[in-house]
Structure 1
Amino acid sequence: MTTILVTGSAAAIAMMALPFLPAPAAASWPFIAASAVLQVIYYSLVARTYALADMSATYPLMRGTAPLLVALATASFLAEPLAPMAWLGVAAICTGILSTAIREHSGHGKGVALALLNALVIASYTLVDGFGVRRSGAPAAYTLWIFLLTGIPLVGWALWRRRKAFLRRIADGWLPGLGGGLATVASYGLALWAMTLAPVAVIAALRETSILFATAIAGFVLKERVGRARVVGAVMIALGAALLRLA
C-alpha cells in the first residue's frame, strides 16, 4: 500500500504538470507504453521483495546487477561502446553494490530470487527509456507520462481489491507518500534527461550510487545490520563514480 501511495502521488503530480508541457513526439509513445508496463511489474516486485527480505540485502542485488546488464546490452546492441576507463567504472560500481549484499541469506532465498528477477526488469525499462526519451524531444513530459500511466493501474487495483487498507494508508501516510512521489519523479526525470546527454550505461551505473544512501537508511533508520562488506562496497562505489567522471 505504501508503494502504491508513492506511485499514486507521482501520478497526481504528473497529472497536474502535463497540461503545461509540450507532448512527447509520436515516435516515443510505444516506448512510454512499454516502460509503463515494466514499471508496474517493477513496483510490484519491489513491494513483494521487501516483504520477504531485508532492504539492505535485496536493494543492492536489484540495483547492482541492472547497470551491468545495461552496459552489456548497450555495447552489444545500441552502438554505444564504452571507453576502457568507463568499463572499469561500471565494473567497480557493480562490484561495490553487489558486495554490500554479501551476508547470510538463509530464509530469504525467495526474496533474493525476486531481487535478481527485478534487476532484469530494471535493465529492461532503462534500455526502453534510453531509446524512448531520445525520441521524445521532451524529457520532462516523457517522464511524467510514464508515472501517470504507471500510477493509474496500481491505484485502480488498490481501490478495487484493497480499498479500506489503501484509504487507511492515505489517511495515515499521505505526507511521506507525497514526498516519495516528488522524489521519484525528480530522480528518474533527472536520470532520463541525463540519458539524452551521455551513454545510457554510464547514467545507469551512476544512478545506482544511490545504494550509498540506501545502505545508510537501512542501518540508521531501519536498524538493519550493516557489516564490513558493505563499507568496502561503499568505497568501491565511490571509486567507480570517480572513474566514470574521468572517462
Structure 2
Amino acid sequence: MTDWIAAIEGTEAGHRAAMLLALTSALAHALFGALQKGRYDPWLMRGAIDLSYGLMALPIALFVFPLPDARLWLVLVGVFVIHAGYKLLMAMAYTRAAYTVVYPVVRGTAPVITVLADGLVFQEHFNATQWAGTALVSLAIFALAAVNLRAATVGRSTLWAALGLAVLTGVFTTFYTVYDAWGIRLADNAFTFLAWFFVVDGLFLFPWIALARWRAMPERPAPGPLMARGLLGGLLGFVSFGAVMLATRLDKVGEAAVLRETSTVFAAAIGWIFLRETVGPVRALLMALIAAGAVLVELGG
C-alpha cells in the first residue's frame, strides 16, 4: 500500500483516488458528527471516541510500523496541540447551541480559508472556476446554517457565543487540515504518520477530560452503552480523518478540503433517510448547491 501511494502521488490516478478518499471522508465525518448529537454530553462522547481510536491504533503503531524519528515526533506534538484546540472549541460550541446550527457554520468557515492557506503553504492555487465552486459551497453551507437557526428552539441565550466558537472552530479546521497535510507529506511512510497520529490525538487529552466530567456528574450515564457508541465513532474516525489526510498527500489540499465539506449534504441525507427529519425544498436546494460547488471545484481542476 505504501509503494502504491508513492507511485500515484501527483498523477491523474492520484487525483481520482484523492477525490474518492475525500468523499469517503465526508460521508464518515457526517456519521461521526451525528454520533456527537443529542444523547450524550459532547465532552463524554468525544472522550469515548478518542479513547477508542487511540487504543485501537496503539498496537498497530507499536508492532506494525516503526517508531517516529525525532523530526516526526515534533510534528506530532503540533498535531496534539492543534487538534486539542479544535476539539475543545467544538465541544464548547456544541454545549451552547444546536448541532444543526453549529456544524454547518464550522464546515462553511473552513473551505475558503483552507484554500488560501494551501496557496501560501504549498503553492497549490485554484483557478477562477474552482474559486467559484468554493464560494458556492461555503455560501450554501452558511445559508443552511441560517435556515436551521430559524428553526432552532434551544440555546438562544448562548447563541452568539456558540456562533463565535463555531467560526473559530472552522479556523482551527484549516489549521489542522494544512498542518496534517504537511506532516503526512513529510513522513516517509504515510501510514506510520497516521498510526501515531491516532495514538497521540486519541489518548492524551479528551479521555481524561471525559473521565473527570463523568465522575463529577450527579447522574452518571452507564459506561457500557457510551463506550459502544464511542467504539463506532472511533472506527468512523479512522475513515474520516485517515482518508482526508491520504487525499492531501495524493493531491491538492484545497480540493480535498472543499470536497470534504459535502459532509453537510451527507448529514442532511442521513437525517432525512434514517431519522425521518424533514428536509423541505429550501434545504434540498441548498444541498444541491453545495454538491454543485464541489463539482465545479473538480471540473475546474
After TM superposition, give the deviation of residue 167 of structure 1 in Å: 8.0
Structure 1 stretch displaced more, 85-94 or 204-213: 85-94
Of 226, 229, 233 in structure 2, the residue corresponding to residue 180 of structure 1 is: 233
Aligned pair 1:216/2:269, yes or no? yes
CA 1:117–1:130 in 2, change beyond 3 Å: closer, same or farther?
A: same
Normalised to the residue count of structure 1, the TM-score between the two structures is 0.88
Check the 8 A contact 1:74/1:80 in 2, yes or no.
yes
How far, CA to CA, are the matches of 2:266 and 2:175 in structure 1?
24
1:107-186 to structure 2, matched below 5 A, reads 107=157, 108-152=159-203, 153-160=205-212, 162-163=214-215, 168-186=221-239
The answer to whether structure 1 residue 93 and structure 2 residue 114 are counterparts is no
Gaps of at least 5 residues in structure 1 are none
Determine helix, strand or coil for the equivalent of 2:146.
Answer: coil
Q: Which structure 2 residue ranges, 5 or more long, are not aligned?
A: 1-43
**1:64-79 residue pairs with structure 2 within 5 A?**
64-79=108-123
CA contact (8 A) 2:137 2:290 kept: yes
Task: State the 1:83 CA deviation.
Answer: 2.7
> Once the 2 structures are TM-superposed, how far is the Cα of residue 89 of structure 1 from its aligned partner?
2.4
Classify 1:123/1:9 alpha carbon distance in 2 versus 1 (closer, same or farther; 3 Å): same
Does residue 1:21 correspond to 2:65, yes or no? yes
Structure 2 Cα separation of the partners of residues 231 and 25 of structure 1: 49
Q: Contact 2:47/2:209 (CA < 8 Å) preserved in 1?
A: no
Deviation at 1:47, TM superposition (A): 1.9
**Kindly, what percent of the aligned residue pairs are identical?**
30
Matched position secondary structure for 2:123: coil
* C-alpha contact 2:68 2:192 (8 A) present in aligned 1: yes
In 2, Cα distance between the equivalents of 1:218 and 1:57? Answer: 14
- In the TM superposition, what whole-angstrom CA distance separates every residue of 1:70-125 from its partner, at most 9, and x where no partner exists? 11112234311123322222222222222211133754211111101101111111
Residue of structure 1 in register with 2:16 after alignment: none
Counterparts of 1:25 and 1:55 in 2: how far apart (Å)?
Answer: 39
Q: Which residue identity does 2:207 align to in structure 1?
A: V
If the length of structure 2 is used for normalisation, what is the TM-score?
Answer: 0.74
Change (3 A) 1:167 1:131: farther
Give the aligned partner of residue 10 of structure 1. Answer: 53
Tell me the matched-pair count: 247
Show the counterpart of 1:40: 84
The residue that corresponds to 2:29 in the other structure is none
Matched, 1:233 2:286: yes
